[in-house]
Amino acid sequence: MDKISHSVPEICLIAPSGALAKLTREIARELNLEIGIYKGVLDDGVKIAEKLVKRGAKVFISRKGTATLLSESGYNVAKINTTLNDYLRHLNLMKEHNGKIAIVEFHEFLPELQKLCDYLEVKDAEIFAYSNAYDYEISVENALNSHASILLGGGETLPKEAKRLNIPHTIVENTEQSIKLAIETAIQLLRVQKEEAIQKRFFKIQFEQYSAVVNNSTDAILSTNDTGMIVISNQKAKSLFKVLNDEKQHNLQDILPMLEFDKIKHFKENGISRIVKINEKLLSAKEMPIFVNQRFEGAIVLLQDVQDIQDSEQKIRLHLYEKGHKAKYDFDDIIGQSEVISKTKMIANSYAKTQSSVLIIGETGTGKELFAQSIHKNSNRRKGPFVAINCAALPKELLSSELFGYEEGAFSGAIKGGKAGIFEVAHGGTIFLDEIGEIPLETQIQLLRVLQEKEVRRLSSDKVIPVDVRIICATNKNLSREVEENRFRMDLYYRINVLKLKIPSLRERREDIPLLVAHFIKSMPPEITTDIRNYMINLYPTLMAYQWPGNIRELQGVMERIVAIFTGNKLINPELDMLIDMPKEERPVLRQKDDSAKKEKTSSEKISLDSVRNALELNRYNKQKTAESLNISRSTLWRLMHRYDLYE
């Protein structure tokens, strides 16, 4: 017999006799099948099967009582059939024998075997039946004590004792055909078992997935049959309706009488939605019918706490609010090659590498926020949010709530659930406070506390929230004078004025005007850009002479006016009054009809592109020096530079 190893074949024979084991081994070798063969009878066979299952056996082959006991123990068994025909040959031979015949057989065969003996007129035969190993030993002992002259039966004890007592003995062995049939049955049982295991595993995974989804849902979920009886309820539903925790079945109408279960079957497409009140809570109830093959089989009810819905919406709004706060501009987006703007960008870039507060000073329209965004994008906070707020754009009574947030009920009109302030939103990033000089004194005190303690407290809240933000402030006011006149706190001024950055006005960097104009022209409709470039050549002397109180923002507005005029009619030659609010006495006098002007124009036409480019590079793009080296005026130099697209 095979020894029980660490792993065994999936099909194993539990053989009550050595002859059965030997014949089965030969058949398995002939069929090229791997079958484990083990000797065991009745209860011993069951014990062997228990060990084999732990090592990988899935289907057993056996016969008679051993097969029955294996099956009763819950194992998959392919029985080797022993028929009455197998007994017929043996009983016919025994009929000629003089003396008593003793038959030891499993109790299942007793009725049929008795009929066969009667049919063959085997008169002097006694059958001893057994149903387990203990009964078998008793039956063998009784058979041996019955004074029988010949014995019929299997197992281990009967053949052994018959041989010892020298009593003739025979065993009804199975035919080769019945063993092959049992092997085929075992193969089919193994295939079905594997298919069932795969299907069972699939359904188990699916069930676990559904259970995880249902029980981890923040919604209370109820499912009913077609009569309204609740058949499924998740943990949320059981916590909402305590009665669902008992073993009884409950009707949906008893739990939620306001839902009108009888009507749900008529709303096949969209179901029914309504607001209900349960245990002083407002819930959003969604009823959806279940139809199988056009037949109504029940309904699913989803219950959501209205407060949870509002909280989720608030979180989503906050998330979207955070995602919208990104710095768009970098230092490369700041147009200009003048010495003063280049130096300013260089200083700002060095500030970006630090964590200190920055105070940006500059006139309105000089691009203070562009510098603030560029500092953020080049800092180690670049992946965090960039939150900008114009302190002058909000009413003083709302500024604190926007900066620091508020709890529900903090003031009339406050959002339900409260709101996070920009310090919370900007955590891990940068806050840009534009027009910082407009903050009222009471808000300055709150701001100073946040900057010192690095924590914020919402209005009407007793909780403090740690925040990690960098502050960049901007102003067009003289904050030193504001401090002297007690309109701005000195301690706050020194807190925000660690690093100072002064943005030059446009009149301090006039040589950048053509570059800025060229940049604005790029965004104009292509069909009018050529006309605008030509028009701008004569306009540059005026642009260069103007003081630009609104700085770059004003220049951008002038360009938008020009676009509006040329888009409507390219033939219009707009007056300066339509474009620039410049006093007439400040406008340069253009003497295009003067002989010297004509002479200069004629000579300028002979100046090549290379000459202009080389002169510019030689003089480091200083326009005055370049014009002098070419012996032309600055206005002529502008025309040449635009003729050759040197600002493109």
217-305 is a CATH 3.30.450.20 domain: yes
Q: What's the one-letter identity of residue 209?
A: Q
Q: Smallest Cα–Cα separation from 604: which of 615, 588, 617, 589? A: 615
Q: Give the rounded distance of the alpha carbon of 300 from its chain centre.
A: 26
Q: Do 84-173 and 324-504 come out as alike in CATH topology?
A: yes
Whole-angstrom Cα distance, residue 287 to residue 303? 9
Under a CB-based contact definition with an 8 Å cutoff, are residues 548 and 581 in contact? no
Under a CB-based contact definition with an 8 Å cutoff, are residues 193 and 59 in contact? yes
For residue 525, the model assigns a pLDDT of 84
Put the strands of the sheet holding 59-63 in their side by side order.
36-39, 11-15, 59-63, 76-80
For residue 581, the model assigns a pLDDT of 67
- Specify which residues 307 forms β-bridges with: none
Beta strand extents in 217-306 (DSSP E only): 220-224, 230-233, 272-278, 281-292, 295-305
11-81+177-191 is a CATH 3.40.50.2300 domain: yes
For residue 277, the model assigns a pLDDT of 82
| Stretch (H or E) spanning 564 | helix 551-568
Q: What's the one-letter identity of residue 444?
A: Q
Q: Smallest Cα–Cα separation from 377: which of 432, 456, 421? A: 432
Question: Could you tell me which CATH number the domain at 324-504 has?
Answer: 3.40.50.300
- Specify which residues 273 forms β-bridges with: 286
Extents of the domains making up the chain: 11-81+177-191, 84-173, 217-305, 324-504, 509-643
**Can you spell out the DSSP letters for 371-383?**
HHHHHHHTSTTTT
For residue 320, the model assigns a pLDDT of 45
Whole-angstrom Cα distance, residue 445 to residue 453? 12
Q: Give the rounded distance of the alpha carbon of 104 from its chain centre.
A: 70
For residue 321, the model assigns a pLDDT of 46
84-173 is a CATH 3.40.50.10660 domain: yes
Nearest-Å Rg of the Cα atoms of the chain is: 50
Under a CB-based contact definition with an 8 Å cutoff, are residues 139 and 152 in contact? no
Cα within 13 Å of Cα(436), Cβ side:
32
For residue 568, the model assigns a pLDDT of 61
Q: How far is CA 223 from CA 71, 267, 293, 299, in A?
A: 39, 16, 18, 6
* pLDDT beneath 70, residues of the chain: 1-2, 83-86, 93, 95, 269, 309-324, 409-417, 568-578, 581-606, 647-648
Q: Other CB atoms closer than 10 Å to residue 595's CB: what's the count?
A: 8
Q: What's the one-letter identity of residue 123?
A: K
Q: Smallest Cα–Cα separation from 432: which of 485, 355, 375? A: 375
Q: Smallest Cα–Cα separation from 296: which of 267, 265, 322, 325? A: 265
